[in-house]
Structure formats: C-alpha cells, structure tokens
Amino acid sequence: MAKIAILALQGAFAEHEQMLRSLGAETFQVRQLSDWNQPKDGLIIPGGESTTQSKLLHDLGLFEPIRQAITGGLPVFGTCAGLILLSPMHLCTMDIDVRRNAYGRQLGSFFTTQPMEEVGTDIPMTFIRAPYINKVSGTCKVLAEVDGHIVAARQGKQLVTAFHPELNDDTRVHQHFLSMVFDTCIKNVSSV
Ligand code: GLN
C-alpha cells in the first residue's frame, strides 16, 4: 500500500487525507521534522497560504529536506498554494512561471469543469483565490487550461493543479497521482 505524507502545517490538508484514504492509500500528517523522517512514497502540498507555509517550512527545518526529496524523485502533488510552493518563488523544483492570486478579487473563487490530459474529461475544478501558470518550460507538460490560462501541469513525478480536486467527489486527479506513485515504487523495487 502506498504511504503518502501530507504537509499539515496550514490549509486544506484534511480533505486530501480523506480522499487518499478512500482510494486505499495510507497517509500521515507532516507537522515537524520527525514526522517527515518516516518512510513515504509521495507527498501532498495542500492549498492554503503559500507565504505562511513557506515560512513555516523554513522555521521548522523542513524546507531543505523536502526540496531534496522532491529533486531526488519523490512524487509530489501540489494544489493551489502547493503549486506556488513548487515554483521558483519557493522550493524551485518545477519549471513553472506562476502568477499568484491571478484571478483578482471579483473572481476570487469559481467553479468549472474542463478536460485534464492524462486524467479525463469533465474534471470538476474549484478555484479559491487561485494562481495560474503563465508559462511552463523544460520538461514540464501542460495538462489543463481554463480560459487560455494553464491550471494543471506535470513535470516528471511532480503534479500541480491551481484548483482544488480534494473539494469535490471526483477522485480521478488523486488516482492519477497515486498511479504516478505506484509507477515509482515499481521502478524502485525492480532496480534493487
Ligand atoms: N492565494 C493563496 C496563495 O497565494 C492560494 C490560495 C489557495 O491555496 N486556495 O498562497
């Protein structure tokens, strides 16, 4: 069974936990370095407030270990603030140019359904004071766009969405993340 670490310093982590458990994954919350040091097959960085999460990561000595694990190939899924954390503004593990709070005040929160490559059609997308991605580079692949703006991307084992799939019943985005995790587990086992 896959064991997924969920960064639980702040924000919408409980919903990810529920969704992953409903899909049969084991999860644990990361609030300090000793939590993080447990064995894990993947990481969720939830929505919330990216500047607060980044500051806490630094204060708790989690920033560098997490950055190294991701660059070392640990699968990670960042939603909303989690997307911002993986960008060059913070952990700098993904080649994405991000616009924070991109939708302004009036359109702070909205819902739509759009196709997402590798995942399926009619994916429910809940946006809450969301960023979008201006541009991807390197090996980063665009997975979804809304009104011409990039709202989901994948680079190797790193998956990001500007929206919150954990807030709807549709589990396909989390399933996709778990399939990325299983793929990594199989490769690790076969290379031993
Ligand atoms: N606006 C938040 C930020 O900039 C992100 C919002 C969210 O995660 N729902 O960090």
pLDDT tens over the chain, length 192 residues: 899 999 999 999 999 999 999 999 999 999 999 999 999 999 999 999 999 999 999 999 999 999 999 999 999 999 999 999 999 999 999 999 999 999 876 667 999 999 999 999 999 999 999 999 999 999 999 999 999 999 999 999 999 999 999 999 999 999 999 999 998 777 777 766
Distance CA 82, CA 74 (A): 15
Find the 13 Cα to ligand 1 centroid distance in Å.
13
Query: If we measure between CA atoms, which residue out of 69, 75, 78 comes closest to residue 48?
Result: 78
User: How far is residue 152's CA from residue 189's CA, in Å, rounded to a whole number?
Assistant: 29
What is the value of pTM for the model shown?
0.95
Which residue's entry shows tokens 């909303």?
80
109 burial (CB, 10 Å; 0-12 / 13-18 / 19+) is exposed
Which of 7, 52, 105, 129 is the best mutation target for the ligand 1 pocket, counting ligand atoms within 8 Å of the beta carbon and taking the most? 129
Beta strands in the chain (DSSP E): 3-7, 26-30, 42-45, 76-79, 96-99, 109-116, 120-128, 132-136, 141-146, 149-155, 158-161
Please tell me if the CB atom of residue 84 comes closer than 6 angstroms to any atom of ligand 1.
yes
Which of 140, 166, 174, 176 does the annotation list as catalytic?
Answer: 166
Residue whose C-alpha is closest to residue 91's, from 61, 43, 60, 57: 57
Whether residue 149 lies in the annotated active site: no
